Structure 1
Amino acid sequence: MAFAKVLQRPAVALSNGLQIPVLGLGTSHDGGFSHDAVVYALTECGMRHIDTAKRYGCEEKLGKAIRESGIPRSDLWLTNKLWPGDYGYKAARKACVESCSRVGVEYFDLYMMHWPEALNPGCSNREVRAETWRALEELYKEGVCRAIGVSNFLVRHLEQLKEDCSVVPHVNQVEYHPFQQPNELINYCRQEGIVFEGYSPLAKGQVLRDPTVLQIAEKHKRTPAQICIRWSIQNGVVTIPKSVKKERILENCQVFDFQLDDSDMAALGGLHDGRHVTWDPTNLE
């Protein structure tokens, strides 16, 4: 199989020295996975960063697509996430090993706690997060996970984890788009050496109809999606748009040959209204 030429795309350095590609392909449940789309992304678009989760129920399918692509494992960045139903020391270790088995790999490049709330009755969220994180620390030291992180964690959750454990998360993956810009959290992460990664960069399509986005897209002769993804990347945010359509995946990858002006960045930065298009962890202790 002839592989697409892999463009020299930017990567962001983690605190442990690993380089995470700044653009990835997200997967999801409820029709959010396509075998052909993943193979296309890897072989025709040069994508080398794939994000999934046990919650999405597509680990086996993803492993099959990766094997069919023929891309060497060492050339890929694979992120997986631990669902709260598997929180706790023993359960987390077991779930990670089982996820590796389902995907058909010996390690994940990044393994994350998916959500700050625990589902374990009788224990505080903080206690369960700390116990679970200690399991991830061991998996990291054993090489089963080359990096470990969290998703949807706010500053207070990260502060508690820092007090309770020894390894600071390498990544925090949070909803991020022009309507949802958690700048206090971003600044905290950067201060602590935590790479900030954004999901839902298109706000589930809501941002594609915004007049400011449309105006900037027209100015640059680009699509609204490309403008939003480019904005995230120029802000230094690792970005993982999701799509199961080949033409959209190709479009989303074509964001490295143009630059947004300072005025564009400022205009998009002014669109924040605090809305969430997915889970909102604001009230979780």
Structure 2
Amino acid sequence: MENFKLTNAITIPKIGFGTYKAGNGNCEKAVIDAINSGYTYFDTAAFYKNESDIAKAIKNSNVKREDLIIASKVWREDLGYDETMKAFEKSLKELNTDYLDVYLIHWPKENPNDINWKQKNIETWKAMEELYKLGRIKVIGVSNYLPHHLINLMDTCEIKPMVNQIELHIGYLQKTALDFCVKNDILVQAWSPLGRGRVLNEESLKEMAEKYGKTVPQLCIRFLYQLGIMPIIKSSSICRMKENLDIFDFSIERDDMYYLMCLPQIGWSGEHPDRQRVYFD
């Protein structure tokens, strides 16, 4: 699998495996299946409560820990210097490892009304920078950050965020945030790259996927790849795990890319860092 190179010269795969509610509750099996299917990047978080399952999967797989890239996140209720340090140590214990390849701040605010979020972020990032300098984290970054959240960090930080993981998919491109990250050499990762499955029902995407001899998920993943975005994908089916990696043998034509970029909103999760969650049926 091809790799992205980050600003600190670390390379990571162009597709990662997401573990949130992975395997319909059997995360350990899902991760082992994903390893056997060719994935090396695994995305988790303290909030997912599956870090210990991932540790078991690695132990019971035929792959060495150092051959995998494990990413976790500090939860929004643990923002702050001391809280982040404690959360990091807890994640290490759960994952049965003495370092993390990637560590992200999960959300910029504890809640949309958090008036102290700017200072909490600065203190949290200071802890991240210290852990990075000690070699206990190889890559530091954020998740669900929009430009104004990133600017707050970048105005005071010593080390700029290397990664920003946000909801991104056909029908929800967040172009302002994407362009800001590209301009500042921050790799964008896409969570929910299939729009929680809602995108898959679009007839125009079915027709376009057929044109390229691919599935709609493969079209969606390839679309993000061509924009320089790293999709974080999950599946409980080994067949689909392998299928989702098979996107490097075709290219979406220019006009089709523009068409996909200009589709109206489809499949937004309702999650937003500055607003209360919007619920959909």
Short-chain TM bin: over 0.9
3-state SS of paired residue (1:249): helix
Identity of aligned residues (%): 35
Please name the residue that 2:30 is paired with. 37
3-state SS of paired residue (2:172): coil
> What displacement does 1:274 show?
7.2
Please name the residue that 1:60 is paired with. 52
1:268 & 1:220 partners in 2: Cα distance?
Answer: 14
Please name the residue that 1:4 is paired with. none
Ranges in structure 1 where 5+ consecutive residues have no aligned partner = 1-8
Please say if residues 118 and 128 of structure 1, whose CA atoms lie closer than 8 Å, have aligned partners that are also in contact. no
Q: Following superposition, which runs of at least 4 residues in structure 1 exceed 3 angstroms of deviation? A: 29-33
Return the match for 2:154 from 154, 159, 162: 162
Deviations 1:159-189 (A, max 9, x none): 1111132211010000000111111211111
3-state SS of paired residue (1:133): helix
TM-score, with length taken from structure 1: 0.91
> What displacement does 1:49 show?
0.7
Please say if residues 38 and 242 of structure 2, whose CA atoms lie closer than 8 Å, have aligned partners that are also in contact. no
Please say if residues 114 and 151 of structure 1, whose CA atoms lie closer than 8 Å, have aligned partners that are also in contact. yes
Residue 214, structure 1, aligned to residue 211, structure 2 = no
Please say if residues 112 and 150 of structure 1, whose CA atoms lie closer than 8 Å, have aligned partners that are also in contact. yes
Residue 46, structure 1, aligned to residue 53, structure 2 = no
> What displacement does 1:257 show?
1.9
2:169 & 2:149 partners in 1: Cα distance?
Answer: 21
> What displacement does 1:17 show?
0.6
Letter in 2 for 1:252: N
1:18 & 1:56 partners in 2: Cα distance?
Answer: 26
Moved more, 22-31 or 63-72: 22-31
TM-score, with length taken from structure 2: 0.92
Please name the residue that 1:18 is paired with. 10
Ranges in structure 2 where 5+ consecutive residues have no aligned partner = 277-281
Moved more, 270-279 or 49-58: 270-279
1:158 & 1:220 partners in 2: Cα distance?
Answer: 37
> What displacement does 1:247 show?
2.2
Please say if residues 154 and 160 of structure 2, whose CA atoms lie closer than 8 Å, have aligned partners that are also in contact. yes
Please name the residue that 1:183 is paired with. 175
Q: After the TM superposition, which residues 1-285 of structure 1 pair with which residues of structure 2 at under 5 Å, given as runs?
A: 9-29=1-21, 31=24, 33-43=26-36, 45-118=37-110, 124-273=116-265, 276-283=268-275
3-state SS of paired residue (2:60): helix
2:5 & 2:266 partners in 1: Cα distance?
Answer: 28
Alpha-carbon RMSD across the aligned residues, in angstroms, is 2.0
Please say if residues 42 and 48 of structure 1, whose CA atoms lie closer than 8 Å, have aligned partners that are also in contact. yes
Letter in 1 for 2:234: K
Letter in 2 for 1:34: C
1:132 & 1:185 partners in 2: Cα distance?
Answer: 21
3-state SS of paired residue (2:155): helix
3-state SS of paired residue (1:118): coil
- Count of residue pairs the alignment pairs up: 275
Please say if residues 102 and 138 of structure 2, whose CA atoms lie closer than 8 Å, have aligned partners that are also in contact. yes
Please say if residues 164 and 187 of structure 2, whose CA atoms lie closer than 8 Å, have aligned partners that are also in contact. yes
Please say if residues 168 and 174 of structure 2, whose CA atoms lie closer than 8 Å, have aligned partners that are also in contact. yes
Letter in 2 for 1:189: C
Moved more, 75-84 or 28-37: 28-37
Change (3 A) 1:72 1:209: same
Please name the residue that 2:279 is paired with. none
Change (3 A) 1:139 1:145: same
2:115 & 2:258 partners in 1: Cα distance?
Answer: 44
Deviations 1:92-141 (A, max 9, x none): 0111111011111111111000001136x986110111111111111111
> What displacement does 1:70 show?
2.1
Change (3 A) 1:33 1:171: farther
Letter in 1 for 2:27: S
